[in-house]
Amino acid sequence: MKSYDDKMKNRIKRMEGQLRGILKMMEEGEDCKAVITQLSAVRSGVDRLIGLIVSQNLLECIQNADGDEQAVNESIQEAVNLFVKSR
């Protein structure tokens, strides 16, 4: 089981608040440009968090590989696959 630090969880909470704000904007009939701007900000936040989680996971896997080159290569490939899948 992976551990996610408080900074990661706070990013999710911030995005959750942004999404609630976007829903309110939509319910109040806000301009579509403003809604799109906020949605783009959430998407950017998600992308950054994905990159952070993938890189942290890769670092942990490499540290736990104890010099096993095959394990390191598998971890790198898995990280690349996760990142590509997120796009």
pLDDT value of position 73: 85
Note down the domain range covering 37.
Answer: 6-85
- Indicate the burial class of 78 (C-beta count within 10 angstroms; 0-12, 13-18, 19 or more): middle
pLDDT value of position 84: 80
In a domain, 36, yes or no: yes
In a domain, 1, yes or no: no
Number of domains in the chain: 1
pLDDT tens-digit map of 13-72: 999 999 999 999 999 999 999 999 999 999 999 999 998 988 888 888 888 878 888 888
- pLDDT band, residue 1 (cuts 50/70/90): low
pLDDT value of position 23: 98
Tell me the whole-structure pTM to 2 decimals. Answer: 0.79
- Indicate the burial class of 75 (C-beta count within 10 angstroms; 0-12, 13-18, 19 or more): buried
CATH classification of the domain holding 56: 1.20.58.1000
pLDDT tens-digit map of 19-33: 999 999 999 999 999
Q: Which residue has the tokens 């959750």?
A: 16
